[in-house]
């Protein structure tokens, strides 16, 4: 099984370093009228907000981009709540981690934008972009509402897509969208604070760029533990390394 981890059709240069910088430079090269709005904090409900990695305003529409800088193998489909990341561990073991379905995450982003802009002439496109270091395995897209791609192919993918859709936004519309959205790129301190609180209330582990899991409450490392008592005695779970100061646990 581990031999297959080495199988990859991309050269080492192409695999390169994943990350948002690669995505920025890819988007900068996309032909056509465009503007890039990184880290948008879009209000949700009364006082919450959702953070969008990048909004790419292009003459063909609004591209809502969620970037995932993970390594290993990635499995998932549209319906699952969680996707799986498989990493090669020590001594020929495989570590499996789950993370919130990025398509569902991006749908939340798009709903927040729709609610904010209240303009149904704007076409929204959901793009989930993985770093060149992972392998997307059998990702099943059925609804046609989402694009999942590598950073390496993002520019080509968007240019092809834009060719098919043609120009959808007038210059005036693009200017007004930019003027609106730019207010949400530099999050005010209360937005950041509210966003951090929101993230902390989440019950899922945070996957770090190196593939290890961090506690969503305190940032501590998550470690495998075996329940010593209660109805789950003998079963494994993830606990925070800062226990007993932090009581976060996660059951796969």
Give the max Cα distance, the chain. Answer: 64
Q: Of 6-14, 102-110, 120-128, 243-251, which segment contacts Zn ion by CB under 5 A? A: 243-251
Q: How far is the CB of 168 from Zn ion (least distance, A)?
A: 45
Instruction: State in angstroms the smallest separation of the CB of 223 from Zn ion.
Output: 11
Q: How far is the CB of 242 from Zn ion (least distance, A)?
A: 5
Which residue stretch of 26-34, 63-71, 134-142, 237-245 sits at the interface with Zn ion (rule: CB under 5 A)?
237-245
248 binds Zn ion (CB under 5 A): yes
CB of 240 to Zn ion, least distance (A): 3
Judged by CB under 5 A, the residue of 116, 214, 218, 227 near Zn ion is 218
Identify the residue among 217, 225, 249, 250 touching Zn ion (CB under 5 A).
217
- DSSP string for the chain: -THHHH--SS-HHHH---SHHHHHHHHHT-SSSEEEEEEEEEEETTTEEEEEEEEEEETTEEEEEEEE---EEEEEESS-SEEEEEEE-GGG-EEEEEEE-HHHHHHHHHHHHHHHH--TTS-EEEEEEE-TTEEEEEEE--SSSEEEEEHHHHHHHHHHHHHHH---S-HHHHHHHHHHHGGGTS--HHHHHHHHHHHHT--SPEEPTTS-EE-TTT-PBEEEEE--SSTTTT-EEEEETTTTT---EE--
Q: Which stretch binds Zn ion (CB under 5 A): 60-68, 70-78, 141-149, 214-222?
A: 214-222
Q: Which stretch binds Zn ion (CB under 5 A): 16-24, 30-38, 114-122, 210-218?
A: 210-218
> Which C-beta is closer to Zn ion: that of 75 or that of 213?
213
**Smallest gap, in angstroms, from Cβ of residue 246 to Zn ion?**
3
Nearer to Zn ion by Cβ, of 76 and 220: the residue is 220
- Interacting residues toward Zn ion by CB under 5 A: 215, 217-218, 220, 240, 242, 246, 248
């Amino acid at each position: 099984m581990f031999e297959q981890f080495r199988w990859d059709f991309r050269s080492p240069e192409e695999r390169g370093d994943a990350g948002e910088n690669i995505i920025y430079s890819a988007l900068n090269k996309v032909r056509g009228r465009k503007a890039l709005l990184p880290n948008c904090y879009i209000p949700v409900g009364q006082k919450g907000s959702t953070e969008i990695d990048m909004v790419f305003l292009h003459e063909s529409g609004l591209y809502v981009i969620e970037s995932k800088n993970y390594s290993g193998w990635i499995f998932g489909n549209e319906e699952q709540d969680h996707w799986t990341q498989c990493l090669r561990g020590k001594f020929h073991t495989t570590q499996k981690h789950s993370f919130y379905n990025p398509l569902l995450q991006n749908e939340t982003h798009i709903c927040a934008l729709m609610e904010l802009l209240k303009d149904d002439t704007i076409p929204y496109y959901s793009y989930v972009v993985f770093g060149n270091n992972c392998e997307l395995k059998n990702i099943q897209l059925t609804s046609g509402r989402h694009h999942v791609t590598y950073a390496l192919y993002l520019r080509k993918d968007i240019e092809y897509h834009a060719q098919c859709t043609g120009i959808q936004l007038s210059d005036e519309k693009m200017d007004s969208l930019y003027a609106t959205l730019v207010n949400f790129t530099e999050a005010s301190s209360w937005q950041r604070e509210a966003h951090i609180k929101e993230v902390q209330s989440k019950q899922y582990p945070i996957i770090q760029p190196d593939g290890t899991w961090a506690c969503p409450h305190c940032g501590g490392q998550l470690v495998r533990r075996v329940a010593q008592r209660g109805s789950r005695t003998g079963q494994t779970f993830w606990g925070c390394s800062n226990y007993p100061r932090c009581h976060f646990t996660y059951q796969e």
